[in-house]
Each structure stands twice: as C-alpha cells, then as structure tokens.
A and B are shown apart, each in its own frame.
Chain A
Amino acid sequence: MKLNLKIWRQGGRYKGEFVTYTLDNVNEHMSFLEMLDVLNESLIGKKEEPVAFEHDCREGICGTCSLVIDGRAHGPMQGTTTCQVHMRHYKDGETIVIEPFRAKAFPVIKDLVVDRSAFDRIIQSGGYVSVNTGQAQDANSIPIEKEQASHAFDAAACIGCGACVAACPNASAMLFTSAKISHLALLPQGQVERQRRVISMIARMDAEGFGQCSNVKACEAECPKEISVENIARMNREYLSAVLTSDIA
C-alpha cells in the first residue's frame, strides 16, 4: 500500500516543521517501526538525513519507542506500544501524522527523539529499596497476600515510556511516578523508605517541570501497559500521610 507520512523534523537543516514523505509498497505485515526503517533506507539512498526515532527491544517491553501517531501516544491501539502497531491497521492512501512526545520536561533532541531522562532522575530520587548484603533471603520467607502482590505487579508493569506525559493535557508525570511508588509501597520490601520515597519522588517530579494531575485520565487510556489511575489516588494518599506524619522536611 501507499502511505503519506507527515513527520515532525527538528535539528540539522530543519528548524522544527512537518515534512511530508510518500512511501510506496508498504507491506501490511510490517510493524510501524519497520515501515519507518524502510522510509529511512530510502532517505539514505537519496542522500537525505534519515528520520531519528527511538526503539530498542521491539517487543513492547522496554519502553524505548515513543511517537505520537495521529494524536495518540503509541498509535491507534489500546494497550500497545508503537513497536507492536502493525501496518495492517492502516488503509492504502492514508496520511499518518507522526509527532514527538510533547512536554516541557521532555525536550526534543532530534526529530522524533525526546529526552526522557527526567524519568530516570525521578527513579533515582526514591525508586529503590534497601536490601541487606550477604546471601539472598529465600523468596518464600516473606509472605505477601495474593491480591496485594497482584496490585504491586500491575503497577510494576509500567515500562516508563512516558506516554502518560505525552497524552496528558497538563504533561503530568503522575501516572508514571504513582506506578513506581505503588509498586514499592504495596510490598514488604518497600516499607523501609516508604515515606521518604513518596516525598522525594514527588519533589523531583515537580522540579522537573511536569504539570499537576487534574484527573483527566487520558494517561490511563493511552498507557501501553494500562496502568490504572488508582495508583495516582494511592500516591496522593501516601503523600498526604507521609507529609503529615513523618519528620522529613
């Protein structure tokens, strides 16, 4: 099939503008990223600058791929990363608009690549647990209620891709941060730093320039791992209780 691609180009000779490319012979079995690979091959063949975009595992689990495709983070499908979108979802002759994630805290590096290191700094500020050195404890020696473990696992499914920020009209990172906080707050291993974690991760999140949550829930709708906004409520609860009861300044 034939596709028209309207792609955001920024960096080099592009000041930040949409450039339209026409791509013939797109195979419906190609993944979206393979389609972009084909485009780049043809651009390189024409001695043009290829389109920069991020990708790594291409299995939907690493959180490296991004893109806002026709206004939706990670494309048109529910609970799917861009790398898992296939061209069979598109029709011949269609125009696809491809943009980078947009948020003040995610500056564009080049074309469709944005700097998501703000997420790394949020994790560094509190997304860890204290573990005794020496021999690893037997996993079964710490009893965890099944439901509790499931909720923690659901939160831990967050791959930190940043689609929540991209989809949020406030560019808020609260779904991401709350998933990380919930994941550890629900498990016995996360109790040691529980209060310090929520206070410092939220402080870091605000310092990075993300917006505040106004409960629009676009994040939940666009999250490739379908992380629930229940986690945001849990984070708010954790934060309130930590601020009121701990002596952390």
Chain B
Amino acid sequence: MALSGIFLMLFLIVHLIGNLQLLNDDGGESFNAYAHFMTHNPLIKIVSYLLYASILLHAIQGLLLWQHNKASRGTVRYAVNHVRSSEVSSRNMAWLGIVILVFLILHMYQYWFQMHWGNVPFIEYNSLDHPVKDLYALVGASYQNLGYVLFYVICMGVVSYHLWHGFWSSFQSLGLNHRKYTPLIKGVGIAYSVGVPVLFAVIPVWMYIK
C-alpha cells in the first residue's frame, strides 16, 4: 500500500504540473503539445503501464486489507464507539478510496479513453510541424457543465482527505520514522494533501468561469 501510494503521489505532482498548462491563455497550444508528447513518448508509455498497475494494485490490496481487517474485528461490534481518539480520514481510507476509484473510472473514460480511441478532432499550430489532437477543447467543453465541475471539486476534496492520512501513513508503514524528520514529513504531508487537490480543483473552476 505504501510503495504504490508513494508512486501515485509522485505521479499526481507530474499530472498536476502538466495539467496546469490548461490555465495558459494560448488556445490550448501548450497543453495539446504536452498531451501529444505524453501519448507518443515510449518512456512515458512504460511509466504509464506502471501507473495503471499501481492504481490496480493499490485498489485491490486496499480492498483486501479492508476485508481482512474487518474480519479481524470479529462478528460482534461494539455497542458504543468512541471515535474521537482517531482522525476521521484514517478510519475511512477504504470509503475514500472507493470514491476515488469511481472518480478515476469516469475520469479515464472521459479523457484518457477518448484521447486514445475516441473521435478527438485534430488541430494545427504554427509552432508545431504536425497536427495534434485537440484535447484542450474536449476538456474545456466538459468543464462548461456546472454539475461536472462540482463533481470534480468534491472529488478533489475526497482525494485531499485520502492524502491527509495517506502521506504520513505511507512513510510510517515503510518504517521511515525519525524524531528529526517525522515533523517535516507530517508538515510536507499537510501541504501536499491540501495544495495538490486545491490546484487540481482550480483548473475546472477557472475554465468554467472563463
């Protein structure tokens, strides 16, 4: 869980940096060029397969862990549950993860699937010697739907909550704990879990307003 989680967190940073180009006011030139590069570079292709495998591994392992842990609790539940001794996010990682998985399926169908097998029109730019698929227009069109923008923003909230526990937790599980560095890990974890989803959420909101 920890290793695949850390890989996914690293991916999120790259994904965010790439997607922030959607905010560029250049008619999608930089973003479409970037999308073309990401779908044609062989090295990126290898990493992307690693990514799909990590998502599946993380999800399957997480669900199996959830099931195993529930069974370890036994058949009779406590009549009174004191929940204040732990964080809400840490107790609900499985539920948060399931929401994220559903979001990912939709997200990948809408962009990844369309980009690879859908009918995305080509567009030509003077700076590029070949036409590229206009993913920018596809993304822009989807963010004209207020419902989808809201769904996206809420899902980013869920991602944030998942990371709120997941960041520090992955270091703890790998035994990477130190009196000097753990406060730094926790601090970076808070900044990451809030910062990254907020920046992701800014994209649809910005494109909707624009």
Chain A residues within CB distance 8 Å of chain B: 6, 8, 16, 18, 68, 70-72, 97, 99, 102-105, 167, 169-172, 209-218, 221-222, 229-230, 232-240
Contact = CB atoms under 8 A, between A and B. Distances in A.
Contact of B74 (A72, A102, A216, A233): A102
A179 B169 CA distance: 19
B127 interface: no
A211 B68 contact: yes
A215 B165 contact: yes
B117 interface: no
The B contact surface, by secondary structure, is loop
14 contacts: A71-B81, A97-B80, A104-B71, A167-B85, A169-B69, A170-B73, A211-B71, A215-B168, A215-B169, A216-B86, A216-B90, A222-B85, A233-B172, A237-B177
Contact of B173 (A68, A211, A213): A213
A103 B93 CA distance: 20
Nearest to A228: B177
A214 B174 contact: no
Contacts of B40: none
Q: Determine chain A's interface SS by DSSP, over half rule.
A: mixed
Contacts of B173: 213, 215, 236
A72 B72 contact: no
A204 to B, nearest CB: 15
B176 interface: yes
Nearest to A238: B175
A216 B87 CA distance: 7
Q: Give the interface centre of B78, B87, B176 by most chain A CB atoms within 10 Å.
A: B78
Nearest to B80: A71
Given A99-B80, A213-B173, A233-B176, A104 B85 contact: no
Nearest to B76: A102
B12 to A, nearest CB: 20
Interface in B40-97: 65, 68-69, 71-74, 76-82, 85-87, 90-91, 93
Contacts of A167: 85
Contacts of A240: 174-175
Measured as residues with beta carbon below 8 angstroms from the partner, the interface class of chain B is 20 to 34
A80 to B, nearest CB: 14
A236 B78 CA distance: 29
Contacts of A212: 65, 68-69, 72
Given A209-B72, A233-B176, A240-B175, A102 B86 contact: no
A234 B104 CA distance: 34
A236 B175 contact: yes
Interface in B148-197: 165, 168-169, 171-177, 179
Nearest to A221: B85
Nearest to B71: A104
A104 B82 contact: no
Given A212-B65, A236-B173, A237-B176, 13 more contacts: A16-B76, A71-B81, A71-B82, A102-B73, A102-B74, A104-B71, A214-B93, A216-B86, A230-B177, A233-B177, A235-B175, A236-B175, A237-B175
Q: Which 9 A-B pairs have the closest CB atoms?
A: A237-B175, A233-B177, A211-B72, A71-B82, A71-B80, A221-B85, A170-B69, A236-B175, A211-B69
Nearest to A229: B172
A238 B177 CA distance: 12
Nearest to B177: A233
A241 to B, nearest CB: 8
